[in-house]
Structure formats: structure tokens, C-alpha cells
A and B are shown apart, each in its own frame.
Chain A
Amino acid sequence: MSTPFYVSPQQAMADRAEYARKGIARGRSLVVLQYADGIVFVGENPSRALHKFSEIYDRIGFAAAGKYNEYENLRIGGVRYADLRGYTYDRDDVTARGLANVYAQTLGTIFSSAGEKPYEVELVVAEVGESAEGDQIYRLPHDGSIVDEHGSVAVGGNAEQISNYLDQRHQDGMTLSEALKLAVQALSRDTNGSEREIPAERLEVAVLDRTRPQQRKFKRIAGRQLSRLLTAEGAAEVSKAASDAVSDEDSSEE
């Protein structure tokens, strides 16, 4: 019987973290920003079928960077968790904090169990409140830690550079159009500092809009509505775009 090589626990963990980080860095980055009426999710995604953002519950949205099959599994687990909890207790008893804790435990257990390969994913769980002060954004890295974020957050390959860019420019109370344009500027900066153009068709955008009359606040923004928001200039057009966004609500429902 051969004796296994000794690997120090520090080294083993460092290797696993390195493995997970490399996997996440291969994926494109995405950003989550607070704006006046809620929270907006923006990412570059050439696929229209494999979503990076989705609805978990009434006020809770989900964003993920990394390996699709792994975060899709976590997303469905989250939907099942939220729906079961809401069915057992009440719809108000489903919170982003509870969900983030469950995700953190799941990722943490998988990360530190030698029998399982660490997940190559980084998640964002966001909940829109009645007002901007009530908004919650949690970032969940691959190792099961939770980071409580405010204002803006970026995950994925180029996350550090993008979040620096966003931290300097993001303000409270931005309109949806302003926040969206800032997000696209941040995403279009490459690692080497050069900029490239991201066409609207390659963007995936979703919002948690607290002004939505329906109980479920999550909504995807695509097509004409998205290009209108991206081109809107000046206060008058921005407010027009916002009112269009409200009237377009049902027609662009997914």
C-alpha cells in the first residue's frame, strides 16, 4: 500500500481557493447596483436562454458568475427553499438574509469537504426594500463567506477593477437610466484599461423595482425598452423612459 503524500491543510485550502477563483475568472463579470427605485442587475451575456439573473421570490433576485451548471443548481435550490418557506409560513417570512445564510452554509460545506470539488461560482443575493434604506445586497464568494454590500457590487473575472470604478462613480438616488449607463461603462473596460463597445443585444438586464404594483418585483428589461434607457439623455428623457418602463411592464413580461 502506498503512503499518500503529506499536504499541509493550509496548502490544500489555498489550492482549492485558487482552483475556484480561476474557474470564476473565466466567466464574464456582472454588476449589481442600487438606483432610486430599486436594484438593477447588468451583465454581458450573449445567450438569451441561459440567464445569469433570475427571480427567487417576491422581492429577492439572484445573480451568479462562474460555472453555469453549478449556479443553476444553486438557483433552483434557492427557488425551492423560498417557495417551501413561503408555503409553510408566510410570503413575508422569506428574506434575502435567510437565503444568503443557506447559500453560505452550502458553499462553505462544499468548499471545505475534501470529498467534493469546490463550486466555481460567486453569487449575489439582493432584496429590494420599501425604500432605498431597506435594500439588501449580499455577495457570496466560493468559500462560503458573506459580504454585506452597499451601493454597487461586481462579481466575476474582472471584479476588482470594475468595483473600484463603480465605487468612485456610483451615487445614491441615481435614475435607472443613469445606473444602467454607469454599469455598461464599467463592464466595457478591459483588464488592460482599454475600452470596448458592448451592444445592447449582448446585455442581460433585470431589475427589482419597488414601484411595481405587482407583488413580484423582479422584471427583465430587453429589446426596445433597454435601448431607450441606454440612449436616454437629460432629465426629461430619463423620466419619460422611466414612465415608459412602467407602461411596458406587462408587454415585456417573461
Chain B
Amino acid sequence: MEANPRSTGRLPAAFLTPGSSSFMDFLSEHQPEMLPGNRQLPPTQGVIEAPHGTTIVSVTFPGGVVLAGDRRATMGNVIAQRDIEKVFPADEYSAVGIAGTAGLAVEMVKLFQLELEHFEKVEGAQLSLEGKANRLSTMIRSNLGMAMQGLAVVPLFAGYDVDREKGRIFSYDVTGGRSEEHGFAATGSGSVFARGAMKKLYRADLTEEQATTLVVQALYDAADDDSATGGPDMARRIFPIVTVISEDGFRRLTDDESSEIARSILERRLEQPDGPRAALL
């Protein structure tokens, strides 16, 4: 609208047309070129080099859900960024963690946050958790063209379901396929190792403190075996981002809290480098 010099400054008709409560629908009618999915990539040879985010893990506990991510972004064999943030609040009761092409993923999260906020303001009520998860699915699907050129975005979505009064986790694939995970989930390059660790440590009756420790343990194990995942960096004071979503809403652990968890895990690992042992039978 600012771009049109002949405009009277009046709201264009599209703004005053009653219709969808979705910001993406509005954009696709009014300024389709701003939607990430509508971008045409020129044909390229090989893989495009861009920073990639790595491991995201999530665990439910009675009363909520924990979502955490490491801080490393890689570009080929180079560490592109040591302190990238890959876990974001989507709204008051949900959060999204991203693995894959960092630039596209951050843009997707920004649009997703706005989509939820826009709906809430227009309708005066929040979307259901399922509704939010489905919305994210649509956004990932619209990125399929990019994903086929090696620029995939694969998020993990976690939220507190106010109606069912429990934490829930949704995982995605590059085509936008959505599946609900029970107990724990991981995505990104280190997810195989993280999932193995969580499988051995997870119990249904975790407290919030135990759940936050569990996710940092899983990230530690992922960093142990996957070169693209970063472990806690004591020298630079860079620690995993750990967030908790419960009845009280979204909360991100402060640096002090997450450094405390990382420090205690590190101390135990000095004696037992492979971490806590599960029972054999």
C-alpha cells in the first residue's frame, strides 16, 4: 500500500472486505509475492549452501510439555553460528522448534506466530491446538518446492492443550505430513541419537525439573555423536534453549537455570562419559 504513489492513503478495498480470519489468506489475495511459498527459485545445480539448524527435542510431563534445542547452525563442515536460537514461542500456549534451513525456518516461524495472533485478534478467541498444528502443516507443505532443492524446514510443534489439559507434541515431515507424538520426540540431524537417549530415560511420571534435565541429557547425547549438534559451551556460556509450556503459559528458562542443568549433567559425565545407565532387564 505504501508502494502505490497514487493511493489516497485510504485502506485498500481488500482490507475492508469481510472474509477469512487468516493472515496468510489475506496475504495471498492482497500481496501474494510476500508469501514464502510463492517464491520461484531459479534452476540450480547441486545443493545450495545455507546455514542449517540441527537438533530439537521435546518431552511431555503431567501438566505440560518441554521443548528444547541446541545452539549450533552448520553449513557443510563449517559451524555457521554458535548461538543461534531455534525454539520460539508461537503464542501463549505453544512453541515451535525448527530444524533445517535456518533462514527459511525463521521466516516461517515469524509468519506462523503472526497467523495465530491475527486469528486471535480478529476472532476474539484462540485456535485449538489441533488447528494450530494443521496451520503449520500447510506452511511446511507450501515450502515443498524449496525442500526438493535441499532447503527443507522440519519443525517440532509443542503446546499445552487447554481443553484436554495436557501437553502435546506434533512432528512433521518435509511434505507437511503431521503426526502426534506420545511422550517424546526429536527432529534434526542429531535426532536419532537424542531419541535413543530419551527412549531410555523417559517415564510417564516425570516432574517439570526432571523433564528439563531429560531434554538437556538427550541434547548432550546428540552432540556426542552428531557433529552438527552443539553441546553446552561452558567457555562461551552458550547453553541449550529450554522452554516449558504448561497451564501457566509459555516460559523460557533463564540462562542461569539452563546453565545450572548443563553444569550438573557435565559434572556427572566427568565420571560417567556415556551418561546415566538404564536397567538391563
Contacts and interface: CB of A to CB of B under 8 A. Distances in A.
B46 interface: no
Nearest to A254: B124
A80 interface: yes
Interface in A37-67: 51, 54-56
Nearest to A82: B121
Interface string B19-37: 0000100110011001000
A81 B11 contact: yes
Interface in B1-48: 1, 8-11, 15-16, 18, 23, 26-27, 30-31, 34
B249 interface: yes
Given A80-B26, A253-B92, A55 B121 contact: yes
B211 to A, nearest CB: 21
A106 B11 contact: yes
A76 B15 CA distance: 7
Contacts of B92: 250, 253
Contacts of A103: 11
B11 A76 contact: no
A18 B99 CA distance: 60
Given A51-B124, A105-B8, A254-B124, A83 B34 contact: no
A102 interface: yes
B122 A76 contact: yes
A166 to B, nearest CB: 28
Nearest to A104: B9
A83 B15 contact: no
B110 interface: yes
B249 A254 contact: no
Contacts, number: 65
Interface size on A, as a range, is 20 to 34
Contact of A77 (B11, B23, B34, B114): B11
B186 to A, nearest CB: 29
Give the interface SS of chain A, mostly helix, strand, loop or mixed: helix
Interface string A126-147: 0000000000000000000000
A87 B34 contact: yes
Nearest to B110: A87
Contacts of A88: 34
Given A56-B121, A77-B16, A253-B92, A102 B111 contact: no
Interface in B55-107: 92
Given A54-B124, A102-B10, A84 B248 contact: no
A79 interface: yes
B249 A250 contact: yes
Interface centre among A77, A88, A250, A253 (most CB of B within 10 A): A77
Contacts of B110: 87
Contacts of A245: none
Given A76-B16, A79-B118, A84-B27, 8 more contacts: A73-B16, A80-B15, A81-B1, A87-B111, A101-B9, A103-B11, A250-B92, A250-B248
23 contacts: A55-B121, A56-B121, A74-B11, A74-B16, A76-B15, A77-B11, A77-B15, A81-B1, A81-B11, A83-B118, A84-B26, A84-B31, A86-B114, A87-B110, A88-B34, A101-B9, A102-B10, A105-B11, A106-B16, A109-B8, A250-B248, A250-B249, A254-B125
Interface of B: 1, 8-11, 15-16, 18, 23, 26-27, 30-31, 34, 92, 110-111, 114, 117-118, 121-122, 124-125, 248-249
